[in-house]
Structure 1
Amino acid sequence: MFSIMLIEDDMTLFQEIKDRLSQWSYDIIGVQDFSNIIPEFTASAPDLVLIDIQLPKFDGFHWCRIIRSHSNVPILFLSSRDHPTDMIMSMQLGADDFIQKPFNFDVLIAKIQAILRRVYNYNTDRIELRTWRGATVEYVKNTISNEKGAVELTKNEMYILKILIEQKNQIVSREELIRSLWDHEHFVSDNTLTVNVNRLRKKLEILGLDPYIETKVGQGYKASEEVLSL
């Protein structure tokens, strides 16, 4: 059974979400102290976090930032606001997805299932290590390192990198990436992918690898690798 921490201060909505998700055998964990969420997060060690943006004391962005400093647990934002900047901000802070209230519960469940399947299934692949342009990519640890250092990636960032380097020197369409990440284009905006790729590039910049994730306008992305001449 997967556990989900639901950080929502509207108790009516909290109970409704809990009841619906419990029908899918998810263990729903609430928050008692909205002024200090981290001790409860650490103690419960959830498999996924659902978090509202508008919360008492501190907003969801604040807690996303703090959680990300402790853990790579997948995070799905809930918001009643319709500002595009909210979604962009959540992605930049390391969230995995975003859903606007009021939402269809079937869509919410589909998003949760897609995230859990992606995060907790793909690490069972037999291949755990890859080398790319002299760097060591560790899928299980979500890290990439070379002589310049090491960086830790989020689950989304690693999965994007994994798909690209498994098809190195080939253009991977945006549609293929979206389908692989979120199962179906209907459940994610095109901009979400852009934000995740840009965030991945920013981290790869530390290792001097950012130029090798190429954007092919109107087509997709490519992870380039040196091709040896015979």
Structure 2
Amino acid sequence: MNYKVYIIEDDLSISALLQEYIVKYGFQAKAAEDFQEILNDFNEYNPDLVLLDVNLPKYDGFYWCRKIRQQSKIPIIFISARDSGMDQIMALESGADDYITKPFYYDVVIAKIKSHIRRTYGEYAPKVEEKIVEVDGLKLYPERSELEFKGERVIITKREGILLEYLMKKYPKVVSRNFLLEKIWDDLDFVEENTLSVNISRIRKRLQELGIDKAIETIRGAGYRLNKTW
């Protein structure tokens, strides 16, 4: 499997070199560009591991580590010039799995990435049964953000997966807008009025890719309901 690494580092030269090395060793890599949209980028990219600096614009790495950890258990490795014991303790208490101090050897970073990938997804990973949510042949795999129907599969974002999981679990009941908003945006101070509608629209498109039309019904003034049309 071609694992994905998300690099959150505001030093562009370090970020570019990390990306180059990571790709060289057979992984995919994406570097953060807008440091106010870290969570949105994280959900869109859906990485398997995060490299995270401490000193970042606006919010520091400890903040983003806690936010990511609220919705994901993937490995988080700090890379920072701050080498005090307290910084390392704060990183671990924020939910990080490892801490590498700058300057570092890039080969060491790669070795750390490989180690955490093995422990989380590979030969050393605990053997647990994968979670599957199913309604009459439509299968959602929340842990890998995949939808399956009649042998066909599509990738969805983490946020789309959360929404669809609740719609499927509560089928055939109506799920209120407020309930869905609380489940996926309770860590945001402000949510635009059309944010939920946009994500529901994206889920409908993913279902259409599987040949399922009109699968999510809008109940005016109430919310949304999974409408089994297949």
Q: TM-score, normalised by structure 1?
A: 0.52
Give the number of the structure whose alpha-carbon radius of gyration is greater. 2
Q: Is the 8 A contact 2:135 2:168 kept in 1?
A: yes
Looking at structure 2, the residues matched to 175 and 109 of structure 1 have their Cα atoms a distance apart, in angstroms, of 29
Q: Which residue of 2 aligns with 1:119?
A: 72
1:135-146 map, 5 Å: 135-146=138-149
- Counterpart of 1:31 in structure 2 is 15
Structure-1 residue corresponding to 2:163:
160
**1:176 and 1:74 mapped to 2: Cα distance?**
28
Paired residues in the alignment total 162
Question: Relative to structure 1, is the Cα distance of residues 117 and 72 closer, same or farther in structure 2, using a 3 angstrom cutoff?
Answer: same
The residue number in structure 1 matching 2:218 is 215
Alignment of 1:196-207 (within 5 A): 196-207=199-210
Counterparts in 2 of 1:185 and 1:6: CA distance versus 1, 3 Å: closer
Question: In structure 2, what is the Cα distance between the partners aligned to 1:120 and 1:182?
Answer: 18
Q: Partner residue of 1:88? A: none
What SS does the aligned partner of 2:171 have?
coil
Map 1:1-230 → 2, pairs under 5 A: 5-9=7-11, 31-33=15-17, 37=19, 39-40=21-22, 51-53=32-34, 72-73=46-47, 103=58, 105=59, 113-120=66-73, 128-147=131-150, 149-184=152-187, 186-225=189-228
Supply the distance in 1 between the matched residues of 2:32 and 2:139 (Cα, whole angstroms). Answer: 34
Shift in alpha-carbon separation, 1:120–1:164, aligned structure 2, 3 A: farther
What RMSD in Å do the two structures reach over aligned CA positions? 4.4
Q: Which protein has the bigger helix share?
A: 1
Q: Residue deviations 1:139-180, cap 9 Å, x none?
A: 223222122611122211111111111111222222211211
* 2: CA distance, partners of 1:111 / 1:217: 36
Q: Per-residue deviation at 1:31? A: 0.8
Q: Provide closer, same or farther for how the CA distance between residues 134 and 180 of structure 1 changes in structure 2, counting only shifts above 3 A.
A: same
Cα deviations by residue, 1:85-130 (Å, 9 ceiling, x for unpaired) = xxxxxxxxxxxxxxxxx85x49x96665344322339xxx988112
Conservation of the 8 A alpha-carbon contact between 2:159 and 2:184 = yes
Identical-pair percentage: 24
**SS of equivalent to 1:52:** coil
Q: Give the distance between the partners of 2:65 and 2:191, measured in 1 at CA.
A: 12
Give the secondary structure class of the aligned counterpart of 2:206. helix
Relative to 1, partners in 2 of residues 1:74 and 1:126: Cα closer, same or farther, differing over 3 Å?
Answer: closer
Q: Is the 8 A contact 1:111 1:182 kept in 2?
A: no
Contact 2:140 2:147 in 1 (8 A): yes
2:166 maps to a residue whose letter is: I
Quickly say closer, same or farther: Cα 1:221–1:111, change in 2 above 3 A: farther
Query: Which one-letter code corresponds to 1:170 in the other structure?
Result: K
